[in-house]
Amino acid sequence: MARPLLWLSLGLLAGLLPALAACPQNCHCHGDLQHVICDKVGLQKIPKVSEKTKLLNLQRNNFPVLAANSFRAMPNLVSLHLQHCQIREVAAGAFRGLKQLIYLYLSHNDIRVLRAGAFDDLTELTYLYLDHNKVTELPRGLLSPLVNLFILQLNNNKLRELRAGAFQGAKDLRWLYLSENALTSLQPGALDDVENLAKFHLDKNQLSSYPAATLSKLRVVEELKLSHNPLKSIPDDAFQSFGRYLETLWLDNTNLEKLSDGAFLGVTTLKHVHLENNRLSQLPSNFPFDNLETLTLTNNPWKCTCQLRGLRR
């Protein structure tokens, strides 16, 4: 009797395996189930997919909460698309098990809460897109597992301040986008863990003063965008810590009335500067004209003095 039962069990298991490895209903699968496309198919829970799946596109479905272990049975995922999924909350351990994931797209959702531990196990993640959400804060240690993170898009959220340790662990981060938030301050220490930023966008926030102490921790910024912040002035040594690398600087639409005489000390490689739509009447005498390729100055009440002689080319 034991042998027939064994054969029956094996037969049932064999019958289940194709179902487990099948393409989810209403989805499109390619490359022997390595690419699974479930774009706008009315899903309300994460579908089961083959362990071989490397790309999973779940855009335009409805997943209000990403619970712990939502993707644990997908160990070989490299790219996960969750844009426009009405996500409100990402729980701790939501992506647990995704140790091969490189691309994570969470743009255009309603995410307000990112629990500490939300990104556990994502040690290979390189590109993280969280733009166009409603995130109000970054819990300390949230990004600690992301030791290979290169690009982080957090633009178009509701961030009001950056606290010390906000980017703890993300030491390889190179491009950081914080445009169109509600930032009024960057606390000292907020950027200590990401001193190798090369591209930093802070435009369209509410910074009323240049965050000199915080930015002084950066070493290799090539592109800095501060447009549309009510700054009014730029202090001495503002860019000195990364002056040998800075090539592109946006200070347009910032109500600037003054650039301090020492604002550009140490800046030697500047190529593109945007100063339009401000209240500037003059430039510092040591303004770095030498390598400039683009300089926009329109809509400022300039006084034509010797300090503008560098414009004569």
Residue 52 pLDDT > 70 = yes
Q: Where are the beta strands (DSSP E) in the chain?
A: 28-30, 35-37, 55-57, 65-66, 79-81, 89-90, 103-105, 113-114, 127-129, 151-153, 161-162, 175-177, 185-186, 199-201, 223-225, 233-234, 248-250, 258-259, 272-274, 294-296
Mean pLDDT calculated for residue range 160-183? 96
Per-residue pLDDT tens digits for 252-294: 999 999 999 999 999 999 999 999 999 999 999 999 999 999 9
pLDDT class of 8 with cuts at 50, 70, 90: very low
For 44, the token pair is 């309300």
Radius of gyration of the chain (CA): 25
Per-residue pLDDT tens digits for 86-102: 999 999 999 999 999 99
Q: Are 272 and 293 in contact (CB under 8 A)?
A: yes
Per-residue pLDDT tens digits for 242-253: 999 999 999 999
The residues near 87 (Cβ < 8 Å, ≥ 6 apart) are 63, 64, 65, 66, 106, 109, 110, 111
Q: Which residue has the higher pLDDT, 140 or 205?
A: 205
Closest CA to 104 of 144, 69, 150, 67: 150
Mean pLDDT calculated for residue range 137-151? 96
Q: Are 210 and 186 in contact (CB under 8 A)?
A: no
Residue 47 pLDDT > 60 = yes
Cα of 128 vs its chain's centroid, Å: 6
Q: What is the pLDDT of the chain when averaged over all its residues?
A: 92
Percent above pLDDT 90 for the chain: 87
Predicted confidence at residue 113, as pLDDT, reads 86
Residue 177: helix, strand or coil by DSSP? strand
Distance, in Å, from the CA atom of 56 to the CA atom of 7, rounded to the nearest integer, reads 35
